[in-house]
A = this chain, B = another copy of it.
Amino acid sequence: MFVDKLNTAWQKNESLVCVGLDPDAHKIPAHIGQERHFYDFCTAIVDATADACCAFKPQFAHFAAAGRENELADLIRYIRTNHPHHVIILDAKRGDIGSTAAYYAKEAFVRYDADTVTLNPYLGLESIQPFLDYKDRGVTILCRTSNADSDWLQNSDEPPIFERVARRVREWNSTGQCMLVTGATYPEELGRVRTLVADMPLLVPGIGAQGGNLAAVLRHGLTESGNGLVISSSRGILYAGQGVDFAEAANTAALQLKAEINTLR
């Protein structure tokens, strides 16, 4: 079950850190040859940070804009083979209905073989169910996103849409397949979600560049057992160093985030 794999990953690595894999051609160190540099760069980052994290989150658009889907598929295969206890979150934010949603589920779970995929709730259950039908995989549904303009739709009613999403996803979670995206930039609202969903895992972007407050996130988001959070960092780890020592720098940055979190929890 998805939640079991995540629990194991949290415990095995003593870490809530998720390393976001957002390869940017302009930032990949120049000494990496260009032929398959997304794959080469990301696998090096994966090996360098595996001891510091519980999950990897490859971001679809970075690969797709460059036509490098095959490198994405190979990267996920690499993680599965070499780090089988790490959770693989495909960040693709899909959202469609019916047979089309079934094709998106096939893309995420068969073609790319991810453990879970990020999904958008705007279309309701018909856009989630085809993913839930893969009983050994998870769904990671946008709830309260980290950006400034998320308010106008997600937080302008009473009860706010993001709370209704949380309640609804809790209903869908009887099989332990669900996770919610709650941005670090709104720690109090993250806390309201935590209250609504008991110990459902929360994926938390927005640490680092976006300015989310780590201590507040942990205060509001940890479960009683001291986990429940998957705290994602991308650029702060990937591009900690830009020279031949990029992997070492990524390792240091990831271990530092892991330690910072573990000191606070």
SS of A interface (majority): helix
For A154, the chain B residues whose CB sits under 8 A away are 122
State which of B101, B127, B150 has its C-beta within 8 Å of the C-beta of A124: B150
State which of B101, B111, B150, B157 has its C-beta within 8 Å of the C-beta of A123: B150
For A145, the chain B residues whose CB sits under 8 A away are 97, 122-123
* B153–A126 touching, CB < 8 Å: no
A161 within 8 A of B: yes
State which of B96, B123, B149 has its C-beta within 8 Å of the C-beta of A125: B149
CB under 8 Å from chain B, chain A span 32-47: none
Chain B residue at minimum C-beta to C-beta distance from A108: B65
Interface size on A, residues (CB 8 A): 51
Shortest beta-carbon distance from A29 to chain B in Å: 19
* A149–B124 touching, CB < 8 Å: yes
For A199, the chain B residues whose CB sits under 8 A away are none
Stretch of A10-18, A56-64, A236-244, A256-264 lying at the B interface: A56-64
For A22, the chain B residues whose CB sits under 8 A away are 99-100
Chain B residue at minimum C-beta to C-beta distance from A150: B124
* B153–A62 touching, CB < 8 Å: no
Please give the residue numbers on chain A whose beta carbons come within 8 Å of chain B beta carbons, in ascending order: 22, 24, 59, 61-62, 64-67, 69-70, 73, 93-101, 103-104, 106-107, 110-111, 120-127, 142, 145-154, 157, 161, 164-165, 168
